[in-house]
Amino acid sequence: MSVAVGAERVVSMPRRRRFAPGTAVVWVVLLGALAISLAPGAYMLSLSFMDNPQLFAGRVVPWPLHPENYPQAWVASDIGRLYWNSVVVSTVSMVVTVAISALAGYGLGRIRFRGRGVIYALVLIGLTIPLQIALIPLFINLRSLGILNTRLALIGPYTGFGLAFGTYIMKGFFEGLPRELEEAARLDGAGEFGIFARVMLPLTRPALATVAIFLFLQNWNEFLFALTFITEGRMRTLPTGIYALLSSEFYGNYPILAASLVLFSVPVLVLYFLFQQQFIEGLTAGALKQ
Amino acid sequence: MASVTPAWRRHVAGYLFAGPALLVLGAFLLYPIGYSVWLSFHEWSGYTPGWGPFVGLENYRDLAQNEVFWKATLNSIVFVLVRTPLEVGLGFLLALLLNRRLPARSLLRTLFFVPVVMSLIVVTIIFQRIYEPNTGLLNTFLRAMGLDALTHPWLGDSATALPAVIAVSVWKNVGFSLVILLAGLQGLPQDVIEAARVDGAGAGQLILRVIAPLMRPILALTALLSIIGGLKVFDLIFIMTRGGPTYSTEVLATMLYREAFELNNMGIASAIAVILVTIVLGTARVQTFLLREGKESGTG
């Protein structure tokens, strides 16, 4: 059985108690924890507006501000190119993965065919297995195919390793859809693919959104494959591009590095704040459904 | 209920839908597993056109005699044993605190989750700066508080490097446990809790005797996700300490990378990959089993 979760339960919270003992304590703990959660990010933001003398004086608040760090960071880390590479790689693999996951989720969730248990077991293994198992085999094979240092060297592996999560979520969602819709469409003469594409798929929009956002962020932040399969500067994505800065001449200039980190994080945070409801609820629903 | 579609059409349709996924999983999951296992029985630098000679279990025997391997295994275990209780414990505490009518509750949850979505490269670089001995935030703060005696080269000393790295990991992941546990708390049968409260159970009793047992499966699941994440940890350590100083933060994943791409021992690195996967899948298996037991005794 699945553990019931859902946003609708939020409304039926415990009734307000007449006397809330320690409400002050609760707030102190919560705000303290929140401060610790957010302080490092705030520190990064503050560093990105300092110059080196302020940094070495151990300052926390930057004053006077040095906003010129940002254009410098943009140029120094060639961040425009890194953005473009990251956007292309993350988006293409996300779209491909979502498409394949939706098909597979429908097949596994709604069609009783021989062998689906085995395929689903593979999906579950894919959910837990460490990326490391594929690191050497993929490196060797991508090298002999001559596609190391191309976008394809990341798009393929990202699709492969995002697929298990996507299929898992989509299968769960398709399974939960009412049978009547399908029967009605079938009586109207719709084929299996018609039922999938015109009846079922539109209903899974929330799940599709969760999968898409999750995969995009995962690809955007991925480091190990990007480090191993892209060894030249031109095709680097943001994480390894920033990592390369550490060993470059800019390591001495920490504020510029910090500004690059901020520029790197902004799209992720914007995306997160825009879609956080779907993101969090999708994730928790996925986790608690097991 | 009964579908009129003939059986063979169902099977074909199933494979048409699941086929692309099966191909991709075959190429990126099954094939690499087989490849790694087979390569782990060979010696190879990665630079000759063909693999080196078949050496049987030699690579595994080498690892068994390699101190760094045992150090890395021990560090992986310590990493998990320290990180998971902290992550789940703190996450549960915060979830309990958030599971009540608070103004801005949803906003708080959103903010607590921010470290989870931040990229590890960003997080590690910030924390490197925070731990920096001379002008870093942590030591500066300690000096400002008059606690000069506590200032320390956190990442530079092999005694404190692993705890310092674990702290970052906990910091980054507490929000994830929090969000899952909070959703779990909100799904609990409120009437049971209300009844216990009416019976005069205090907050402490309520949590220990009523809420914690009801939450056991979800707590176990959160722990499982944290353990698996902990065993796989790579970016954090690779960027922050590269496994140093003197292997004090080396874990299996960083050792694998070093063996493969710095020492050119593809066979040994593959053996590590196989061991790592065995540990991770084994842990997942054992814990899913325990989880099921727990669930059955919990509901039955």
Please list the rounded mean pLDDT of every run of 10 residues in chain A (290 residues): 40 48 83 93 91 81 86 84 93 96 94 91 90 91 92 94 92 88 85 87 88 89 93 88 79 83 88 84 68
Is residue B15 situated within a structural domain? no
> Which range of residues forms the domain containing residue B99?
31-44+54-299
Is A287 in Cβ contact with B117 (below 8 Å)?
no
Q: State the smallest CA–CA distance between residue B168 and chain A in angstroms.
A: 10
Looking at the structure of chain B, the number of domains it has is 1
Please determine, for residue B21, whether its predicted confidence score (pLDDT) is greater than 90.
yes
Give the per-residue pLDDT at A275.
85
Nearest CA in chain A to B136: A58
Is B129 in Cβ contact with A254 (below 8 Å)?
yes
Rg (CA), chain B: 24
Which residue, among A169, A186, A280, A281, would best test binding to B if mutated, counting the most B CBs under 10 Å from its CB? Answer: A280
Q: Which CATH number fits the domain that encloses residue B241?
A: 1.10.3720.10
Is B235 in Cβ contact with A224 (below 8 Å)?
yes
Residue in this structure with the two tokens 């507490």, named with its chain if needed: B174
Is A132 in Cβ contact with B256 (below 8 Å)?
yes
Sign of the torsion formed by the C-alpha atoms of B3, B4, B8 and B12: negative
Q: Could you report how far apart the first and last alpha carbons of chain B are, in Å? A: 30
> Helix count (H) and strand count (E) of chain A?
13, 0
Question: What mean pLDDT value characterizes chain B?
Answer: 88
Is residue B7 situated within a structural domain? no
> Which token pair is A132?
């490391």
- Backbone dihedral angles phi then psi of residue B35, each to the nearest 5 degrees: -60, -45
- Give the confidence band of B24 by pLDDT, cuts at 50, 70, 90: very high
With b for 16 or more beta-carbon neighbours within 10 A and e for fewer, the A205-238 pattern comes to eebbbbbbbbbbbbbbbbbbbbbbbbeeeebbbb
Residue A63 touches chain B, beta carbons under 8 Å: no
Question: The domain A77-288 is classified under which CATH number: 2.60.40.1730, 1.10.3720.10, 1.10.150.120, 1.10.1040.10?
Answer: 1.10.3720.10
Beta bridge partners of B227: none
Residue A19 touches chain B, beta carbons under 8 Å: no
Give the per-residue pLDDT at A10.
43
Give the per-residue pLDDT at B40.
93
Tell me the mean pLDDT in the region B167-190: 91
The model scores a pTM over 0.80: yes
Give the per-residue pLDDT at A5.
42
A37, A58, A136: residue with CB nearest B273: A136
Is B299 in Cβ contact with A156 (below 8 Å)?
no
Is residue B129 situated within a structural domain? yes
Name every chain A residue with its beta carbon within 8 A of the beta carbon of B221: 287-288, 290
Percent of residues, chain B, with pLDDT higher than 90: 49
pLDDT in tens, B93-151: 999 999 887 888 889 999 999 999 888 889 999 999 899 888 888 888 898 888 888 88
**Residues near B111 by Cβ (< 8 Å), separated by ≥ 6?**
A34, A37, A38
CB pairs under 8 A between A and B: 294
Is A157 in Cβ contact with B32 (below 8 Å)?
no
Which residue, among B126, B206, B264, would best test binding to A if mutated, counting the most A CBs under 10 Å from its CB? Answer: B126
Is residue B62 situated within a structural domain? yes
Please determine, for residue B237, whether its predicted confidence score (pLDDT) is greater than 90.
yes
Euclidean distance between CA atoms B94 and B92, whole angstroms: 5
Is A37 in Cβ contact with B94 (below 8 Å)?
no
> Which token pair is B56?
């049987």
- Give the confidence band of B8 by pLDDT, cuts at 50, 70, 90: confident
Residue A194 touches chain B, beta carbons under 8 Å: no
Residue B26 CB coordination number (10 Å): 13
**Residues near B232 by Cβ (< 8 Å), separated by ≥ 6?**
A130, A131, A132, B253, B276, B280
Is residue B177 situated within a structural domain? yes
Name every chain B residue with its beta carbon within 8 A of the beta carbon of A265: 118-119, 122
Structural domain spans, chain A: 19-69, 77-288
Name every chain A residue with its beta carbon within 8 A of the beta carbon of B30: 122
Give the per-residue pLDDT at B206.
83
Q: State the smallest CA–CA distance between residue B243 and chain A in angstroms.
A: 15
Q: Between A15 and B48, name the one with better pLDDT.
A: B48
Give the per-residue pLDDT at A289.
62
Q: Between A133 and B4, name the one with better pLDDT.
A: A133
Percent of residues, chain B, with pLDDT higher than 70: 95
